Amino acid sequence: MAWNTDLRWRLPLACLLLQVALVVLFGVFVRYDPDADAHWVAEKRSRNVSSDLDNEFYYRYPSFQDVHVMIFVGFGFLMTFLQRYGYGAVGFNFLLAAFGIQWALLMQGWFHSYRQGYIFVSVENLINADFCVGSVCVAFGAVLGKVSPVQLLLMTLFQVTLFAVNEFILLSLLAVKDAGGSMTIHTFGAYFGLTVTWILQRPNLHQSRQRQGAVYHSDLFAMIGTLFLWMYWPSFNSAVSNHGDAQHRAAINTYCSLAACVLTTVALSSALHKKGKLDMVHIQNATLAGGVAVGTAAEMMLMPYGALIVGFICGIISTLGFVYLTPFLESRLRIQDTCGIHNLHGMPGIVGAIVGAVTAACASSAVYGEEGLAHAFDFDSAKANWNASLQGKFQAAGLFVSLAMALVGGILVGLILKLPVWGQAADENCFEDAIYWEMPESTAFHPEDPTLKPSEP
Amino acid sequence: MAWNTDLRWRLPLACLLLQVALVVLFGVFVRYDPDADAHWVAEKRSRNVSSDLDNEFYYRYPSFQDVHVMIFVGFGFLMTFLQRYGYGAVGFNFLLAAFGIQWALLMQGWFHSYRQGYIFVSVENLINADFCVGSVCVAFGAVLGKVSPVQLLLMTLFQVTLFAVNEFILLSLLAVKDAGGSMTIHTFGAYFGLTVTWILQRPNLHQSRQRQGAVYHSDLFAMIGTLFLWMYWPSFNSAVSNHGDAQHRAAINTYCSLAACVLTTVALSSALHKKGKLDMVHIQNATLAGGVAVGTAAEMMLMPYGALIVGFICGIISTLGFVYLTPFLESRLRIQDTCGIHNLHGMPGIVGAIVGAVTAACASSAVYGEEGLAHAFDFDSAKANWNASLQGKFQAAGLFVSLAMALVGGILVGLILKLPVWGQAADENCFEDAIYWEMPESTAFHPEDPTLKPSEP
Amino acid sequence: MAWNTDLRWRLPLACLLLQVALVVLFGVFVRYDPDADAHWVAEKRSRNVSSDLDNEFYYRYPSFQDVHVMIFVGFGFLMTFLQRYGYGAVGFNFLLAAFGIQWALLMQGWFHSYRQGYIFVSVENLINADFCVGSVCVAFGAVLGKVSPVQLLLMTLFQVTLFAVNEFILLSLLAVKDAGGSMTIHTFGAYFGLTVTWILQRPNLHQSRQRQGAVYHSDLFAMIGTLFLWMYWPSFNSAVSNHGDAQHRAAINTYCSLAACVLTTVALSSALHKKGKLDMVHIQNATLAGGVAVGTAAEMMLMPYGALIVGFICGIISTLGFVYLTPFLESRLRIQDTCGIHNLHGMPGIVGAIVGAVTAACASSAVYGEEGLAHAFDFDSAKANWNASLQGKFQAAGLFVSLAMALVGGILVGLILKLPVWGQAADENCFEDAIYWEMPESTAFHPEDPTLKPSEP
């Protein structure tokens, strides 16, 4: 199809309109949290706090920076594995995340930090905005190389909105615990993205197949993304947990789960190759499934061996998914999942939700202590008449809500994105930076690509 | 011109002499701050502090590490976009920064941490030394590819000295606030570097033009630099702010400004291309202008929407600069600005200084609270009879001092560097690593460069 | 030799067996430290601590994440300099480290955190596990490109075990101070690795020589590793030091030593080239020797100028080693040291041990204060009747124990790895990813390598 991929007016207009709207909304609504406001001196006195260290900043800022790296370098470079879509992977991820965090500050702010007509932001809001955008980065992985930046901005606008609603239902209405976002971020993001790419299915995508593989150095760029995601995932899962033991425990559990996941991924990758060779796609992706799958339970008393078991299982599931399920989804269900997010975020996210529900349901005061149990699940305040078993049931409900929101939302957003006016590339021009980027003149190492059609029809 | 680029005696001598001098000066002058000295146990008692956490280390160390990454990976990789100057970009940046931080510890120490004949260093000094070197990295961007490492060491020696004097005038004599260094680091660094490159103008630089562009993978390396600068800029602008709310607020404001800047950069980049395509040069650079431009005001009550507006404007200014101003400067004013630092640090630095002056001048106890206002601008101690309006005027004065220091200093240093004895490359050999680096034998992907003259004449 | 390099059963079996064993052992032994346990609320009360900030997490977590980056990105990418072994460098480092940290948690836990039948883990254990694996990464550098992943898993299994025994002897029996691991990590790791590669010597390795060099972009990938190691080394050396001044001082000393080391490395690299050009191998490696060499003394009152002197010397020693010693070791002693770990970790590790012993022996209450001296060397509790001179002697003893453990252990482990059943590549197929990795179809920039034999004989 001869769609017009010249974005000269559409992309600038989209960016500027969205940014102007954000400025206006921030002007009306966003103010500093007391911990970030110049009245802090008085605030300290009124809270009877003596040290500046009790400012929320010092509890969460290092974790925030790690999460920030995961969103921009981690997700951005993870997707640079394609031989001719490195600019798009890093650059569009940068664009959608920069827009998304602003919109998420508003959407999540209205639901969770809204008082007296204002949204009060602190470092915790920044982390949550990054989390919200993380789910958009996940969904981006499904449509990578097949959509225009205008479509990505639209998808981000809608997905952040739906994310905030879903998160509000889970965290506030169902009182679910999901500090690392197995449900809210990964399950929601993955099934939303898969639904969108299913709606946007491209019948002749095989015409771009020669650009769907990696080259040697693009795989190394992708490993930068993989490793920063892997290394900082303990910060991701512990960033918004309760102060003290919960943050500490979440980091330990995530560390354990991820380590185990690497070994089973390598085992399966080698076992499934006819000559026992390893596949970089598995190493780049399935090694991370352990982080996804302890997202909900990491702050709970999962125990280190419990975390190892979760990682063990998810390395296997995820690698099997890449080998058997992705080709099946593409050929039979026409779900063209560029980065295999179903294997890295979809299935491990569901596993994470189930692990979280079971771990919560099994929580006992023998393991947590009376006070510890009440503190961990807020049974000491808002949910005074709850018990662990009930918590587990609500956790399970959260999974189904997330899946439903993802499917319904994905269909609606997919249909909007399907309109042939957003500058998407033709099927035979997918996975190609030259469509949306000014390319260096001397592309010495890629002398010519005879299959590439002229980028503007 | 047949300059001799063999550095066999000049570079080793320069490095060893400088390092020996530093060892001697450190021996005479540098000691540990009480927070880093083994007398800390007694120090705690005398300060009536019970917890080790009140050691300055815990307030600032995470920010220090982020700033450290910005200087070495951020600036280093940002400049790897040139197809044949990756070694020089990363390697010479490494060299000049490693020398510069030592010299900065001394220079800044004499001005700010000198007591009883000694300089007492703590983590705050390390951050400030990194900041000081940041301004040298900025200036390096203007002369990248055209100077020898000996020239860079000399430039660093002089620029760090001038930086420290300028910083002393601003922070101590004019009592200016500039925690993120819009004036001291960016404006000073940029106009210093532009003046130096103007003095060092190379009439036949067009002979090296074929190496001034990027190749595909060199652009991805540069994005590593861009993203680490972008992600850690909240730490940069908050690293030396007052404990508590000021650090917290500076991080939030910088986060907001940078996010807005990305969208307007993308908008302008696309709008200014005849087919609406994006230019990696803009994405790599102009997206960072928002961080520069809130350097002064980030710790003030700029408000999140104020930060968005600053980022909004600077993404536009900076991208316009790359498209229109850089070619103009080069063709008409003979200012050959390799990395476009005028667009990323020069203009946004001036904007930042103005925003800072206006924000300070408008500060009121209604917004800050009585105590907060006094605390934020030190009106409670040294500047007891100051008010916000006066502060604003002094802020504005700081900008002019910085510009004057940069221009005068840049001319003097440029003239010294112009002497034909420092091993600089000929005009036709610029932007080429082979001049100063032993190259890998099999440069498989760059088989030969017929335009390159023999590197030693 | 026609060894079979098909790992289809060996690698999966090794991974799965090891991981199952780890799950079982974790189930039996590993529990959360009180700071990471849900009983923290009660724990705080019993310790009379009011703030969650007194949780060990907040003292050490930022340093932990920096160390984590050094192990996985730092060591992983440092070894990507080989033109055809980038997957193996990053991927096998990832595998061995993920296995090693789990096994180290157990081994170190039994020696240091074992109480009432359980190992109690906190963030400090995670750091120490990373440290332990750091010594395996060092040894990996000696055998890089010449061993199979099965051999690496075995080597990790044994080396972590030996490391833990050696560390126990040094830290617990000899009461040595070695916070940054000059002896336990670097000296031990380097001489262990060198002994292993000596046992595994490959008589016809010259047949793979054409792949032992770098290409342009592989050198830039390696610089990512170098810089993250260099930047985060202050965290490495301060991560497990005493709270407060010791952590603070260790960071300052390491910062100084590393900065000086860069200048002398550049000086020597240029001086030793016949045309004064710089060699990327030196810049990538010798610049880090300063961090290794202050590993023991960084937390002591080494003084900033002392740190500069150490860095000064080690940049010289290390670069000289690359130029003269590595070829000598290879040709005369048949020690084939792929990454030159003897220059980066071996000699600087010994220097670090000596510097530590001398600094400890010279410690006086005039410099440390009475309390400070006792606190720094534990003379206030376990070692009440020790003095500085005695401490220095025990420090020296620690060096010899580490060397002996490395040599004896290296011989034993080398002999096990020499068995021709672990899937190692033939001499002419070394340094080649295609042996163990599925390669991208279009290796555009490396069209063909006529010297490569069919990978499966």
Three-class HEC string of A242-253: CCCHHHHHHHHH
Instruction: Tell me what pLDDT residue B445 has.
Output: 40
CA–CA separation, C376 vs C241, rounded Å?
9
Looking at the complex, does the CB of residue A202 fall below 8 Å from at least one CB of chain B? no
CA–CA separation, C129 vs C124, rounded Å?
9
With contact defined as beta carbons under 8 Å apart, do C153 and C14 qualify?
yes
With contact defined as beta carbons under 8 Å apart, do C422 and C10 qualify?
yes
Domains present along chain B, CATH in parentheses = 23-35+58-433 (1.10.3430.10)
Q: Say whether A255 and C62 touch across the interface (CB within 8 A).
A: no
With contact defined as beta carbons under 8 Å apart, do B204 and B352 qualify?
no
Crossing angle for the helix pair A188-199 and A347-361, to the nearest 10 degrees: 150
- Identify which of A217, A211, A299, A209 has the alpha carbon closest to the alpha carbon of residue A257: A299
Q: Say whether C230 and B72 touch across the interface (CB within 8 A).
A: yes
Coil vs helix vs strand at B309: helix
Which residues partner with A120 through β-bridges? A31
Looking at the complex, does the CB of residue C59 fall below 8 Å from at least one CB of chain B? yes
pLDDT digits (tens, 9 = 90+) for C390-417: 999 999 999 999 999 999 999 999 999 9
Strands of A166-324 (E only): list them.
none
- Residue C385's pLDDT band (cuts 50, 70, 90): confident
Q: For tokens 């400070």, what's the residue?
A: C372
Q: Say whether C91 and A234 touch across the interface (CB within 8 A).
A: no
Looking at the complex, does the CB of residue C49 fall below 8 Å from at least one CB of chain B? no
| Mean pLDDT, 10 residues at a time, chain B of 457 residues | 82 97 98 96 90 94 97 97 96 98 98 96 97 98 96 98 98 96 98 98 91 93 97 97 96 98 98 96 97 97 97 98 96 94 97 97 94 91 87 96 97 96 93 95 46 42
Closest CB from B62, B303, B369 relative to A42: B369
With contact defined as beta carbons under 8 Å apart, do A286 and A265 qualify?
yes
User: What type of residue sits at position B299?
Assistant: E
CA–CA separation, B372 vs B370, rounded Å?
6
Looking at the complex, does the CB of residue B366 fall below 8 Å from at least one CB of chain A? no
- Spell out which residues of chain C touch residue A224, defining contact as CB-CB under 8 Å: 73, 77, 224
User: Judged by CB atoms within 8 Å, which residues 288-347 of A form the interface with C?
Assistant: 301, 303-305, 308-309, 312
Tokens of C64: 């932990």
pLDDT < 70 stretches in chain A: 1-2, 442-457
Looking at the complex, does the CB of residue C30 fall below 8 Å from at least one CB of chain A? yes
User: What type of residue sits at position A193?
Assistant: G
- Spell out which residues of chain C touch residue B94, defining contact as CB-CB under 8 Å: 227, 230, 262, 283, 287
Which chains reach chain A with 3 or more Cβ–Cβ distances below 8 angstroms?
B, C
What average pLDDT does chain C have? Answer: 94
Instruction: Tell me what pLDDT residue C430 has.
Output: 95
**Kind and range of the H or E run holding B121:** strand B118-121
Q: What is the DSSP secondary structure assignment for residue A148, as one 8-state letter?
A: -
Query: Which conformational region is residue B404 in: left (phi greater than 0), alpha (psi within -120 to 50 degrees), or beta?
Result: alpha
Among all residues of chain A, which has the CA nearest to that of C442? A215
- Burial (CB count within 10 angstroms: exposed 0-12, middle 13-18, buried 19+), residue C332: exposed
Looking at the complex, does the CB of residue C62 fall below 8 Å from at least one CB of chain B? yes
Q: What is the DSSP secondary structure assignment for residue A437, as one 8-state letter?
A: B
Tokens of C421: 């059943």
- Identify which of A408, A450, A60, A359 has the alpha carbon closest to the alpha carbon of residue A239: A60
**Kind and range of the H or E run holding A32:** strand A30-32
Looking at the complex, does the CB of residue C224 fall below 8 Å from at least one CB of chain B? yes
CA dist C199 → A377, B131, C412, C425 (Å): 56, 49, 9, 16
Closest CB from B232, B256, B376 relative to A38: B376
Instruction: Tell me what pLDDT residue C2 has.
Output: 56
Instruction: Tell me what pLDDT residue B167 has.
Output: 97
CA–CA separation, C408 vs C404, rounded Å?
6
Among all residues of chain B, which has the CA nearest to that of A120? B304
- Residue C3's pLDDT band (cuts 50, 70, 90): confident
Ramachandran angles phi, psi of B121, nearest 5°: -105, 140
Nearest CA distance, B277 vs chain C (angstrom): 26
With contact defined as beta carbons under 8 Å apart, do C264 and B15 qualify?
yes
Nearest CA distance, B35 vs chain C (angstrom): 6
Q: Say whether B12 and C368 touch across the interface (CB within 8 A).
A: no
- Identify which of A187, A182, A136, A184 has the alpha carbon closest to the alpha carbon of residue A160: A136
Looking at the complex, does the CB of residue C145 fall below 8 Å from at least one CB of chain A? no
Q: Say whether A231 and C73 touch across the interface (CB within 8 A).
A: yes
Q: Say whether A42 and B234 touch across the interface (CB within 8 A).
A: no
Neighbouring CB atoms inside 10 A of A47's CB total 12
Best to test chain A binding among C31, C80, C90, C154 (most A CBs inside 10 Å): C90
Question: Can you give chain C as a three-state secondary structure string?
Answer: CCCCCCCCCHHHHHHHHHHHHHHHHHHHHEEECHHHCCCHHHHHHHHCCCCHHHCHHHHHHHHHHHHHHHHHHHHHHHHHHCCCCHHHHHHHHHHHHHHHHHHHHHHHHHHHCEECCEEEECHHHHHHHHHHHHHHHHHHHHHCCCCCHHHHHHHHHHHHHHHHHHHHHHHHHCCCCCCCCHHHHHHHHHHHHHHHHHHCCCCCHHHHHHHCCCCHHHHHHHHHHHHHHHHHHHHHHHCCCCCCHHHHHHHHHHHHHHHHHHHHHHHHHHHCCCCCCECHHHHHHHHHHHHHHCCCCCCCCCCHHHHHHHHHHHHHHHHHHHHHHHHHHHHHCCCCCCCCHHHHHHHHHHHHHHHHHHHHHCCCHHHHCHHHHHHHCCCCCCCCCCCHHHHHHHHHHHHHHHHHHHHHHHHHHHHHHHCCCCCCCCHHHCCCHHHCECCCCCCCCCCCCCCCCCCCC
CA–CA separation, A100 vs A139, rounded Å?
13
With contact defined as beta carbons under 8 Å apart, do B344 and B292 qualify?
yes
- A·B CB contacts under 8 A: 248
**Kind and range of the H or E run holding B32:** strand B30-32
With contact defined as beta carbons under 8 Å apart, do B387 and B373 qualify?
no
Looking at the complex, does the CB of residue A231 fall below 8 Å from at least one CB of chain B? no
Coil vs helix vs strand at A31: strand
Q: Say whether B35 and C248 touch across the interface (CB within 8 A).
A: yes
